[in-house]
Amino acid sequence: MNRRDWIKGLGLGVGAGAVGLMSPSNAFAAEARRGTKSLAPLKITKVRAIKTAPQRARLVVVKVETSEPGLYGLGCATFNQRPLAVVTAVEEYLDPFARGRDVDNIEDLWQNAYTSSYWRNGPVLNNALSGLDMALWDIKGKRAGMPVYQLIGGKCRFAADCYVHSSGRDLKELEESVKKNMELGFRHIRIQLGAYGSPHLSTKADFRDAGFGAPQDTLMEARPYLKATPKMFEHIRNTCGEEIELLHDMHERVEPRDAIRLLKELERYRPFFIEDPVAPEANDYFRQIRAATTVPIAMGELFNSPHEWVGLMKERLIDFIRVHLSQTGGFSVARKIATLAEWFNVRSAWHGPNDVSPVGHAANIHLDLAIHNFGIQESLTFSDAMREVFPGCPTVKDGYFYVNEAPGWGVDINEEAAKKFPYPEQPGYWEPVRRRDGTAVRP
């Protein structure tokens, strides 16, 4: 190579190098590197559980602290009936497991935390894991400066259409409650006579006379409930009109054969959905239910593992998934269940009673906003005490549930206020319900 060629080559080389550095792909890579640097690596420094009960239910909220001072995330881990077991799982097991790990890799952390106990998929561990999972999504939203629904694709609707509960000991009381809720703007109302299974309609607690069980155990006979429920639907249709959408929860309290007959009787009143017609142990009856009636079915509140939905979905045996987000392991899991459900025309109906914290309610709504196969959202009216403890609570207006636009879940916790609402002294048992002869009724 002569000197002229060498210089020419050098020139080309330098030129090529310079062009290379400025090419769109390299410029993009450099920009990406700068972007990554702006999100400095963060570590989890502490995972702890906050106990509070501003609205009776024993809430467990997980707070994940990070190596960036002041940056933390919140997650719902509420298991009203066994809250202290969840607190132990969070503080004795998840905290040491998660400390020092990368805040950003939510799925990786979830998978490893899930199997870190080897045995898994129980409500205690799933709730603890959910607290961690949701808190990491909250942190990611805060880091991005976006509400979580933006991180998973943005809005499919402006707010979550929701249902409210109406109950009454008799038809007149129930009718008044339904009309009041209609005036508030609700288009969907879940109706029931008294408590689940209308236990007040039963009269003969022979087990008490015989000294069987404890005095506070509840009586619930299936027959009065099965007779009263079609009459309840008929009365509300006659007095409240055809427009309002009616929902009802059977709460798994009758025999499968009776459940099928009741569903057939209710079909003429066009329920929006009937929830939990049979217990999870009787899942095989859904084929018969489906063959017998077109009433839309909601199912799954008691499921633990996301795998419990697979069979019901792929055989198209249900229409709505009832999922208690924290019970199944958190936002990440519920999002996967929703995605699976979309392929089978199953719509969402996330569980939203008072034993879900406002952080959990916010997670429900963020998912409602971002998934195509949203069905309906169970709503809760938050008390003044709840709003004091949880600034940024979701709000209900004209039958729609809204989250605010703050980054993450948009819900914070005032830990000083939380301390003012300790758990009630009575443990949160699901009180025993018995047939007339004392046989235990499974919810």
Residues with catalytic roles: 196, 251
CB of 99 to Mg ion, least distance (A): 36
CB 106 within 8 A of CB 332: yes
141 or 197: whose CB is closer to Mg ion?
A: 197
Angle, helix 3-22 to helix 24-38, in steps of 10 degrees: 50
CB of 124 to Mg ion, least distance (A): 20
Dihedral of alpha carbons 78, 400, 271, 168, sign: positive
**Does residue 133 belong to the site contacting Mg ion (CB under 5 A)?**
no
Question: Rounded CA gap, 225 and 83, in Å?
Answer: 32
221 or 249: whose CB is closer to Mg ion?
A: 249
CB of 353 to Mg ion, least distance (A): 8
17: CB partners within 8 A, 6+ apart: none
CB 137 within 8 A of CB 148: yes
CB of 74 to Mg ion, least distance (A): 25
Residue found by looking up tokens 């998978």 in the block: 111
153 or 443: whose CB is closer to Mg ion?
A: 443
Q: Which residues pair with 157 in a beta bridge?
A: none
The residue range among 226-234, 243-251, 282-290, 404-412 that interacts with Mg ion, by the rule CB under 5 A, is 243-251
Return the SS3 of 234: helix
**Does residue 378 belong to the site contacting Mg ion (CB under 5 A)?**
no
Closest CA to 169 of 232, 248, 85, 250: 232
Q: 302-341: which residues touch Mg ion (CB under 5 A)? A: none
Q: Which two tokens stand for residue 118?
A: 């080897």
**Does residue 252 belong to the site contacting Mg ion (CB under 5 A)?**
no
Q: 141-160: which residues touch Mg ion (CB under 5 A)? A: none
Angle, helix 123-144 to helix 106-115, in steps of 10 degrees: 170
- With 0-12 / 13-18 / 19 or more C-beta atoms within 10 angstroms meaning exposed / middle / buried, residue 19 is exposed
The residue range among 101-109, 213-221, 244-252, 389-397 that interacts with Mg ion, by the rule CB under 5 A, is 244-252
138 or 275: whose CB is closer to Mg ion?
A: 275
Return the SS3 of 338: helix
249 or 355: whose CB is closer to Mg ion?
A: 249
110 or 401: whose CB is closer to Mg ion?
A: 401
Say how many residues touch Mg ion, by CB under 5 A. Answer: 3
CB 403 within 8 A of CB 410: yes
100 or 443: whose CB is closer to Mg ion?
A: 443
The residue range among 18-26, 62-70, 275-283, 331-339 that interacts with Mg ion, by the rule CB under 5 A, is 275-283
Among 301, 319, 368, 378, binds Mg ion (CB under 5 A): 301
CB of 248 to Mg ion, least distance (A): 10
Q: Which two tokens stand for residue 95?
A: 């905290």
CB of 252 to Mg ion, least distance (A): 9
Q: How many CB atoms lie within 10 A of CB 153?
A: 11
The residue range among 71-79, 285-293, 299-307, 368-376 that interacts with Mg ion, by the rule CB under 5 A, is 299-307
CB of 355 to Mg ion, least distance (A): 11
Question: Rounded CA gap, 299 and 49, in Å?
Answer: 30
Q: Which residues pair with 142 in a beta bridge?
A: none
Among 249, 319, 355, 412, binds Mg ion (CB under 5 A): 249
Using CB under 5 A as the criterion, which residues of the chain lie in contact with Mg ion when the complex forms? Answer: 249, 275, 301
